[in-house]
Structure 1
Amino acid sequence: MASAAAGDGSLLATERYGSAERWRYYSREGGMERRREGGEGQQQRGNSLVGAFKSVFLPQGYPDSVSPDYLHYQLWDTAQAFSSSLSGTLATQASLRGAGVGDQEATVAAATITWLLRDGTGMLGRIVFAWWKGIKLDSEAKKWRLFADVLNDMAMFMEILAPYFPPFYTLIVCTAGVFKALVGVAGGATRAALTVHQARRDNLADISAKDGSQETLVNLAGLLLSLLLIPLVTDNPPLTLGLFFLFTVLHLFSNYKAVSSVVMETLNESRLSIVLRHYLRDGRVLTPPEANQREPVFFEFKKSVAVKLGVRLQEVVQSREELSLALRRHHQPFLLGVKNGCVCVCLGSTASVHDEIRAACQALWISSALTSRTPGGPQHSHWELVHESHQLMDSTFATFLKGLEAAGWDLRRTLLDWDEWRVDWKTKHN
């Protein structure tokens, strides 16, 4: 094609718009002629309504400017937002009826007080939850994203049931308000964490803006369908509950598929544990898609020894002798110990990201060893396990780290839950 075109004039320049369009400029009769690669039919399709839709609702430079999992996640996220919008309509109608809308005996003051109490308790819940679990919302974005939507469905279910329990209406509505406040914090924070993952050109604002446009479009569609649903469900509790459960199932399934489709290239505790266990067992480092596929998206309640990263020195050692044990035969910028049923890591001020990954690997290995202990089996002291973890990492970590890089993991940063304590210690105790 290029040789045929060159018969009309020489090629002067080429240009492209991401991976969506490619153009060539040829000299022609003293001027320039611009031709699109792929022919006129492709150009017409590019100027179609689909092209305009993409321009309005997808980030600039899509798909090159976002992560590979962007479209899959957004499609399922759109489905969950649509079903949530319909469930919200049913819950709002029930709340208004419970507050006295349509009841001649109800007073404006009573309804206002109920709404103020609901909003007030929700504000307090938002502050407490952000303080309590704020750091976890980055490292466990998938789990908290799904948790937020489950909690949102619970809150709406409570709002639907509240009118049928008049003596407890205010208590139920206030509890639902607290749940929705937690949803607002967890949902907003995890959405921000996922946006950081999706943004491949530092285009967080564009992705957030387009996500808002997508959500607005979905809510508009939900609003139109809600106008048809309201006359049907009014004064019809069985139909209201039936539709709510239908939308809830769709909502939760869509959310599960959405968070399961996310492929994070940064290591958190769960993904690092999965990759490390597989490497120590089979000698191969899992790629990000493989590890993310195995990462649980629901909170697990199985019994395991907890890991605490970045703790104070006194949470690792409480005497000069223990400090000597912690420092014995190793010179890493971190200390490990087991206190009060937890594996604790004290981080030095000079520790790098690679040091953080190694410390977390050792802590996870110790946690796994303690969890798998059998009551009647041989028991090793905690310090023996610490020294065994150092020996294991001395022989395997360099190769493991190279394997992580080769597999495509981003080692410039991590999503491990490090607290802010940093300690400098004297090494002559060993």
Structure 2
Amino acid sequence: MEKEAGVILATERYGSAESWKYYGKEGVMERRRDGGEGESRGNSIIGVFKSVFLPQGYPESVSNDYLQYQFWDTVQAFSSSLSGTLATQASLKGVGVGNQEATVAAATVTWLLRDGTGMLGRIIFAWLKGSKLDSEAKKWRLFADVLNDIAMFMEILAPYFPPFFTLIVCTAGIFKSLVGVAGGATRAALTVHQARRDNMADISAKDGSQETLVNLAGLLISLILIPLVTDNPILTLSLFFLFTVLHLFANYKAVRSVVMETFNEARLSIVLQQYLMDKRILSPQEANQREPVFIEFRKTVPVKLGVRLHEVVQSPDELNLALKQNSRPYLLGVRNGCICVCLGPEASVHDEIRAMCQAVCLSSKLSPSTSREQSHWEMVHESHKLMDTIFSQFLKGVEAAGWDIKRTLLDWDEWRVEWKTKSD
């Protein structure tokens, strides 16, 4: 067959999607698709669809969890679009659309108050929780979607409580502003994870195209729904709850499908606890499946990273206790119910991982009540010894298991301290 076609001069491929061969025969070069005839990526309907809605170089240019995450993200966006239509209709009805007694001024004031309180909420939330959105992207992504559903439910109910309508829609506006910050920031964090060729912009653009297509489909369905639900509160609430259940389920599946190879506090704690138990290193897939994705309110001993020196030690004697048996560029102590870690300016990423591992070990031996006692230096010294024994092998193990130890998503603050011992 190849003799009839001629001599193979060159081959080319487009990722794993398609490959071509160039044949030379009697002074003519001919290009043929490898593996039989067929349309190329750019010519077939499926090829055009991939070009429009998937990042260039897919699937090699994205993480392995990209397709599963995007599928569930599409489902949740579709159901959220339909729920949003019901909420918008209720809001418009509440401000007086269709009511001859309502004034334009009153409706405008209500809308401005709603937007204004939302803007303030956005600023305050970004100030308080902005640094958490990278390290706990899954939790805050799911939190944002739950809060979005609550806000839409409030908007649907608001018209049935006229005296409190403005208060309800303003509260819903605040919730939606938090959703905007948390949802947008965590989407960016997940895009960083998905981009494997420094192609964040392409992935973000294609994600926007996918969402626009979904919203267009939702718009078409909404045109059918609106006449049915108008002046029918029972049907409105029934459809809203149906879409909300689908929305929350799809969001849960979406964040559960994400497999991050970088350590945050939860993933590092899960991997370390398993290693201390049976010397087995969990893969990123296994650890991500165990990682909690809901905001937790149970009482645990919190860990504060990158704190000021006085949050760890408050006297020269305590400083010497903190430095005892510790040759690493960080200090660790227990203060006011928290495990606090003070980082030196020369600390590497590996030192950050080690400090967090030591804090996790110490946290597992304390309870919220006992952590408020003044002296825990013996336990701190024991944790130093434990790290000297296990950390080197643990670090080699996690790297071999596929974890990225060149960077972390640990929530370090920016304080860096240079300390001196008595010998200095």
TM-score, scaled to structure 1? 0.96
Structure 2 counterpart of 1:192: 188
Instruction: Flag structure 1 segments of 5+ consecutive residues without an equivalent.
Output: none
1:270 to 266, 269, 273: 266
Contact in 1 for aligned 2:42/2:51 (Cα 8 Å) = no
Structure 1 counterpart of 2:20: 23
- Structure 2 residue 77 is matched with structure 1 residue 81: yes
254 and 34 in structure 1: CA distance in 2 versus 1, 3 angstrom threshold: same
TM-superposed CA distance for 1:48, in Å, is 2.0
TM-superposed CA distance for 1:429, in Å, is 5.8
2:58 to 56, 62, 68: 62
Partner amino acid, structure 2, of 1:174: C
Q: Give the RMSD, CA atoms, in angstroms.
A: 1.6
Structure 2 counterpart of 1:178: 174
For residues 42 and 103 of structure 2, the distance between their equivalents in structure 1, rounded to whole angstroms, comes to: 58
Structure 1 counterpart of 2:225: 229
2:283 to 277, 281, 287: 287
Structure 2 counterpart of 1:413: 407
Partner amino acid, structure 2, of 1:321: D
SS in 2 for 1:344: strand
1:319 to 315, 319, 336: 315
Contact in 1 for aligned 2:73/2:250 (Cα 8 Å) = yes
Structure 2 counterpart of 1:140: 136
| Residues 4-403 of structure 1 aligned to structure 2 (within 5 Å) | 4-40=1-37, 42-43=38-39, 47-371=43-367, 381-403=375-397
For residues 162 and 248 of structure 1, the distance between their equivalents in structure 2, rounded to whole angstroms, comes to: 18
For residues 258 and 114 of structure 1, the distance between their equivalents in structure 2, rounded to whole angstroms, comes to: 35
For residues 347 and 117 of structure 1, the distance between their equivalents in structure 2, rounded to whole angstroms, comes to: 45
For residues 45 and 13 of structure 1, the distance between their equivalents in structure 2, rounded to whole angstroms, comes to: 19
For residues 111 and 119 of structure 2, the distance between their equivalents in structure 1, rounded to whole angstroms, comes to: 12
TM-superposed CA distance for 1:29, in Å, is 1.9
Contact in 1 for aligned 2:63/2:193 (Cα 8 Å) = yes
Partner amino acid, structure 1, of 2:410: L
Contact in 2 for aligned 1:324/1:429 (Cα 8 Å) = no
Contact in 2 for aligned 1:6/1:26 (Cα 8 Å) = no
SS in 1 for 2:273: helix
Partner amino acid, structure 2, of 1:30: G
TM-superposed CA distance for 1:33, in Å, is 1.0
For residues 298 and 6 of structure 2, the distance between their equivalents in structure 1, rounded to whole angstroms, comes to: 72
TM-superposed CA distance for 1:46, in Å, is 7.2
Structure 2 counterpart of 1:426: 420
TM-score, scaled to structure 2? 0.97
TM-superposed CA distance for 1:427, in Å, is 3.4
Partner amino acid, structure 2, of 1:425: W
Farther off after superposition, 417-426 or 43-52: 43-52
TM-superposed CA distance for 1:422, in Å, is 0.1
TM-superposed CA distance for 1:7, in Å, is 4.4
Contact in 2 for aligned 1:95/1:162 (Cα 8 Å) = yes
For residues 232 and 372 of structure 1, the distance between their equivalents in structure 2, rounded to whole angstroms, comes to: 54
Instruction: Flag structure 2 segments of 5+ consecutive residues without an equivalent.
Output: none
SS in 2 for 1:413: coil
Q: Deviations over 1:138-174 (max 9, x none)?
A: 0000000000000000000000000000000000000
For residues 178 and 117 of structure 1, the distance between their equivalents in structure 2, rounded to whole angstroms, comes to: 10
For residues 23 and 341 of structure 1, the distance between their equivalents in structure 2, rounded to whole angstroms, comes to: 65
Contact in 2 for aligned 1:98/1:169 (Cα 8 Å) = yes
Query: Size of the alignment, in residue pairs?
Result: 423
Contact in 1 for aligned 2:342/2:417 (Cα 8 Å) = yes
369 and 122 in structure 1: CA distance in 2 versus 1, 3 angstrom threshold: same
SS in 1 for 2:304: strand
Farther off after superposition, 298-307 or 61-70: 298-307
326 and 114 in structure 1: CA distance in 2 versus 1, 3 angstrom threshold: same
TM-superposed CA distance for 1:374, in Å, is 8.6
SS in 1 for 2:5: coil
Partner amino acid, structure 2, of 1:8: A
Partner amino acid, structure 2, of 1:256: Y
Farther off after superposition, 222-231 or 292-301: 292-301
TM-superposed CA distance for 1:50, in Å, is 1.1
Farther off after superposition, 411-420 or 296-305: 296-305
Contact in 2 for aligned 1:323/1:429 (Cα 8 Å) = no
Partner amino acid, structure 1, of 2:115: D
SS in 2 for 1:304: coil
Q: Deviations over 1:23-50 (max 9, x none)?
A: 111112202111111100x436873211
For residues 5 and 185 of structure 2, the distance between their equivalents in structure 1, rounded to whole angstroms, comes to: 57
243 and 429 in structure 1: CA distance in 2 versus 1, 3 angstrom threshold: farther
